[in-house]
């Protein structure tokens, strides 16, 4: 299933392994039940663990969703495009159900 | 260069942002309030609206609301004077293109303004080259991959050729060659420091420096027709026609110590293995093993296992002969020289122009002397036959 949004989803994230870093923000260019692609100004290294918070279309809030940065590309503007893979958690299951719900209600 | 509308209530913040924007090569159109900012839309037609505000203010949301009606494709970048991630998220959700936070500098604004200036109302943007570091890394990876591929291909080809040569039983070595200033070379020997060559026509033995092969000394032997030579027993043995072997002192004149009638036929090759003197007879095709006594008594003789022996040499472990018939070096078993342990073809002789007359081993390569006749003139040449590392190692093995 694939849904497209006219505007990438804003998201906040923090790096649990680097508590000295402040909370950052970015946009989710792609989102599915297994992972996401995050575009952000903050520098993210490959292998980093991110904890995300964002609101799905419809208002459902996803919090403390953790993912691992499996691939990171730095674009010409200095932005990091991070391919995230969700870690197993109850929040991941909730995201999967929420996305399915959005898909079902939009078709 | 793009026109950036700059809306900031605070003068200091506005000046700071204006400097940063202009440092990036854009033109800043400043305004102090929302009304002034909206006037810029028609007056300046800005590519990007940069709005500075405290997280507690809502001027950015007001601007977004106005722009929705006036210029919906104008991206708004919000500059928060205090960092606040939750507020940034709110602004992004409200429609801000990007949110940056203090401290402001050209460096911190570059990416956001660059992306906003290229925004055309969709997040699908034309491809841009990767960051310089990424590009360099990618180029490096490709260069490394190409290098590895090239090295692997070269290694494969080299290994294939090596296998072919080994299968063919030969490892031809690149040869260096020197034309000699005399035309009738007849024998070759190496004493550990110099290369000695005899010239039968001038009845002279020449001493050459082994690196450049320049002549560094010579001695004339007026009563001899010198041919094959070998260092043995502290002197120089020279086979002289007809059928004589002459012992010389190693002084400047190569004074004669003794003359011995050669009981065998004319020796064309001579080598000393530390115990026995080995000579070869080209006409009969035989190898002679001689005791180094006054008569150079043959202790044994063997049929030559090649076609026509032309020269002999000793490498410290084995006896070698130059087969003029096959243009090969033959390594012999010292106990029974009829057993050939290795054949080494010499490509520089394959044309048949040159006839080998002498052979020596200088510890890392073979040297050979050869003559040829061209236009009624005889020429002499020295060849150095470098050995492959595998062969050199095999020679070192007992």
pLDDT in tens, A55-97: 988 888 999 999 999 999 998 888 999 999 998 888 888 888 8
Beta bridge partners of B51: B7, B78
Is residue A25 within 8 Å of residue A13, measured between CB atoms? yes
Please state which architecture CATH assigns to domain B3-118.
3-Layer(aba) Sandwich (3.40)
DSSP letter string over B334-353? Answer: SS-TTSEEEEEE-GGGTTS-
pLDDT in tens, A11-35: 999 999 988 889 999 999 888 888 9
User: A74 vs B88: CB contact, 8 Å cut-off?
Assistant: no
pLDDT of residue B132: 65
Residue A2 within a domain: no
User: A55 vs B86: CB contact, 8 Å cut-off?
Assistant: no
| Closest CB from B83, B110, B134 relative to A22 | B83
Q: Residue B93: list chain A partners with CB under 8 A.
A: 10, 55
φ, ψ for residue B27 (rounded to 5)?
A: -105, 125
pLDDT of residue B309: 92
Structural domain range at position A69 = 9-106
At B48, which helix (H) or strand (E)? strand B48-53
At B141, which helix (H) or strand (E)? helix B132-167
Closest CA to A24 of B187, B106, B98: B98
Is residue B241 within 8 Å of residue B266, measured between CB atoms? yes
pLDDT of residue B361: 92
C-alpha B342/C-alpha B313 separation (Å) is 14
Report the b/e string of A63-92 with b at 16+ CB within 10 A: eebbbbbeebebbbbbbbbbbbebeeeebb
Is residue B267 within 8 Å of residue B232, measured between CB atoms? no
Q: How far apart are the first and last CA of chain A?
A: 11
Q: What is the ipTM of this complex?
A: 0.88
Q: Residue A74: list chain B partners with CB under 8 A.
A: 130-131, 133-134
Cis peptide before A70 (omega within 30 of 0): no
**B3-118 and B176-396 have identical folds:** no
Q: Residue A27: list chain B partners with CB under 8 A.
A: 92
pLDDT of residue B230: 94
Q: Give, for all 398 residues of chain B, the pLDDT tens digit.
A: 788 999 999 899 999 999 999 888 888 899 998 888 888 888 888 889 999 999 998 888 888 888 888 888 888 999 999 999 999 999 998 889 999 998 888 888 989 998 888 877 665 554 555 566 667 777 888 899 999 999 999 988 888 887 777 666 555 454 588 999 999 999 999 999 999 999 999 999 999 998 888 999 999 998 889 999 999 988 999 998 888 899 999 988 899 888 888 876 778 899 999 889 999 988 888 999 988 888 888 888 899 998 899 999 998 888 999 999 888 999 998 888 998 888 888 888 888 889 999 999 988 889 999 999 887 889 999 999 888 777 777 776 66
Residue A99 within a domain: yes
pLDDT in tens, B320-371: 999 998 889 999 988 889 988 888 888 888 888 899 999 999 888 899 999 9
Beta bridge partners of B222: none
C-alpha B363/C-alpha A97 separation (Å) is 82
Closest CA to B209 of B226, B191, B221: B191
Number of domains in chain A: 1
Residue A101 within a domain: yes
Where do the domains of chain B lie? Answer: 3-118, 130-168, 176-396
Q: Which fold has domain B176-396?
A: Neuraminidase (2.120.10)
Residues sharing a CB contact under 8 Å with residue B192, sequence separation 6 or more, in sequence order = none
């Amino acid at each position: 299933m694939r849904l497209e949004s006219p505007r990438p989803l804003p998201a906040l994230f923090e790096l649990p392994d680097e508590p000295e870093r402040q909370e950052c923000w970015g946009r989710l260019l792609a989102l599915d039940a297994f992972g996401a692609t995050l575009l952000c100004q903050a520098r993210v290294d490959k292998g980093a663990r991110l904890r995300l918070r964002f609101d799905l279309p419809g208002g459902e809030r996803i919090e403390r969703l953790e993912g691992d940065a499996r691939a990171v590309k730095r674009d010409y503007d200095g932005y990091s495009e991070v391919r995230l893979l969700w870690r197993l958690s109850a929040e991941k299951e909730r995201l999967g159900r929420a996305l399915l719900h959005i898909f079902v209600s939009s078709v | 260069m793009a026109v950036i509308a700059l809306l900031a209530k605070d003068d200091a913040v506005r000046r700071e942002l204006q400097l940063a924007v202009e440092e990036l090569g854009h033109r800043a159109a400043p305004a102090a309030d929302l009304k002034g900012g909206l006037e810029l839309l028609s007056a300046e037609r800005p590519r990007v609206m940069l709005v500075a505000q405290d997280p507690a203010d809502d001027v950015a949301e007001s601007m977004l609301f106005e722009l929705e009606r006036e210029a919906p494709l104008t991206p708004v970048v919000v500059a928060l004077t205090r960092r606040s991630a939750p507020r940034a998220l709110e602004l992004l959700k409200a429609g801000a293109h990007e949110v940056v936070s203090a401290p402001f500098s050209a460096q911190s604004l570059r990416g956001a303004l660059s992306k906003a200036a290229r925004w055309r109302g969709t997040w699908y943007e034309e491809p841009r080259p990767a960051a310089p570091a990424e590009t360099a890394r990618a180029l490096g990876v490709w260069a490394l991959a190409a290098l590895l591929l090239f090295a692997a291909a070269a290694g494969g080809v080299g290994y294939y050729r090596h296998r072919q040569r080994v299968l063919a039983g030969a490892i031809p070595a690149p040869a260096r060659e020197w034309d000699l200033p005399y035309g009738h070379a007849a024998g070759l020997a190496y004493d550990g420091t110099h290369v000695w060559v005899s010239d039968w026509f001038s009845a002279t033995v020449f001493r050459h420096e082994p690196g450049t092969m320049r002549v560094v000394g010579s001695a004339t032997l007026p009563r001899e027709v010198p041919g094959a030579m070998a260092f043995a027993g502290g002197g120089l043995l020279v086979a002289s026609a007809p059928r004589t072997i002459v012992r010389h002192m190693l002084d400047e004149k190569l004074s004669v110590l003794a003359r011995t009638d050669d009981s065998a036929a004319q020796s064309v090759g001579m080598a000393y293995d530390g115990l026995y003197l080995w000579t070869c007879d080209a006409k009969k095709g035989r190898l002679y093993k001689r005791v180094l006594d006054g008569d150079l008594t043959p202790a044994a003789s063997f049929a030559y296992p090649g076609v026509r022996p032309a020269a002999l040499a000793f490498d410290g472990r084995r006896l070698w002969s130059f087969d003029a018939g096959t243009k090969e070096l033959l390594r012999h078993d010292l106990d029974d020289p009829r057993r050939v342990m290795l054949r080494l073809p010499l490509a520089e002789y394959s044309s048949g122009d040159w006839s080998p007359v002498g052979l020596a081993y200088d510890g890392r390569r073979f040297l050979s002397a050869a003559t040829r006749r061209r236009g009624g003139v005889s020429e002499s040449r020295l060849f150095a036959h470098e050995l492959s590392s595998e062969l050199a190692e095999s020679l070192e093995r007992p």
